[in-house]
Structure 1
């Protein structure tokens, strides 16, 4: 990034029009892509303020913030505390990677489709985390595992905490593409962590294996880390099939 102060977009927002109520997040990302392209904003330029975007697009704060979060995850926007959001590289409506959608008609099919992708991503992420993790990564993974185990012992399940533990492994793999792919599939992935089939015991048998997976990562053993990850997901598949009958 240049040491020069970034330029700030100060013209009116005529290129942004209020959006209809349907699929506001997708439309917001689309509109921002068209706006950046049409206004000629460059890498390092600051985007319009959150309140300006809310007024111009006719959407709520949560929609603007979710759009900003997705753009950050895709590596095209950087948010600086107290300063605003800045463009890291030019975008257009055609180049923004929209979240992937699941077309399955039922929860069972959706979970099984997502599980195929999880196997590829999480097994490799665990193996890479075993090779590449730093001391800080290991401390973060340990902290989240302990919290996941605490909540699981208390409630019999620990969906959000389980997700945070897996995210810490993605981060320890030292490859931002894992996070970017997850952002595009977040809605589908989160179905695993919201008590599928109204069963709090969903995939509960896999919880002890999370500690074994962590131990393999800590020991820098990518083979065992991958093996334990796949064992966890095998249990998940068994429960999807058993509980959806």
Structure 2
């Protein structure tokens, strides 16, 4: 399918790993089409038809581009390019040089300490009433999932993402996108244990309270307490 009369073709993709393939294909399309900041991207339906993928895949790729600061969506108008990219410059997932899950998680934990402790402190300083409401809503969802389902991995991730957003620093979500695959290993039931790091659960409410109180030192302290429990559980479960 041609999108426009003078644009290069976007070709259908194989079923495997479609989100990453669409991300690369769209970045390559932007480069080959010589799109510039301010240019509008093809509509969602056009991308779905051209690449033979579903709406959810296209929306996930656009969401990733937004998090990386590459595009912005304007309600009722479309999605617009903020800066030029290519398949070689857009987000590629980080790889961790570790043979065992234990070592990979511990390496990721080193980076999480630096990012999340600072994010918690900044959120305590910069959060708006709307941010606080969102963080509390994610926390309530996490507590409900924990108490009812016995597992709250996805809700846990959503809680931490809301804190990142409350920093009002676009680099935090960009860094998270760069490391998403490595970070998400924490929320994919490592060691096949749905109760992984369950002991850290009470500290999440304390972290929220610190952010709500505007106390950056306590927010940093509670973030590190959460990650300390995670480290202890990694080492214990990997024995």
| 2:43 aligned residue | 49
1: CA distance, partners of 2:130 / 2:48: 37
Does the CA-based 8 Å contact 2:8-2:29 persist in structure 1? no
| 1:168 aligned residue | 162
**Structure 1: which 5+ runs fail to align?**
1-8
* 1:83-105 deviation digits (Å, cap 9, x = unpaired): 43221222222321322233433
* 1:9-54 deviation digits (Å, cap 9, x = unpaired): 7225434334456654434333322322222222222112334334
Q: 1:116 aligns with which of 93, 110, 114?
A: 110
Q: Note the 1:145-224 alignment, pairs <5 A.
A: 145-224=139-218
RMSD of aligned Cα (Å): 2.2
* 1:120-169 deviation digits (Å, cap 9, x = unpaired): 11000001011111111112112221221222122333111111111111
- Larger mean CA deviation between 214-223 and 18-27 belongs to 18-27
* 1:48-68 deviation digits (Å, cap 9, x = unpaired): 233433443454544433322
- Larger mean CA deviation between 87-96 and 128-137 belongs to 87-96
Count of residue correspondences: 237
| 1:234 aligned residue | 228
Does the CA-based 8 Å contact 2:91-2:177 persist in structure 1? no
1: CA distance, partners of 2:136 / 2:25: 41
* 1:173-214 deviation digits (Å, cap 9, x = unpaired): 111111111112222222212322121221111111111111
Does the CA-based 8 Å contact 2:157-2:187 persist in structure 1? yes
What TM-score does the superposition give when structure 2 sets the normalisation length?
0.88
* 1:104-125 deviation digits (Å, cap 9, x = unpaired): 3332222112111111110000
| 1:244 aligned residue | 238
Cα 1:35–1:150 shift into 2, 3 Å: closer
2: CA distance, partners of 1:11 / 1:232: 54
**Structure 2: which 5+ runs fail to align?**
none
1: CA distance, partners of 2:118 / 2:43: 38
Does the CA-based 8 Å contact 1:13-1:56 persist in structure 2? no
What TM-score does the superposition give when structure 1 sets the normalisation length?
0.86
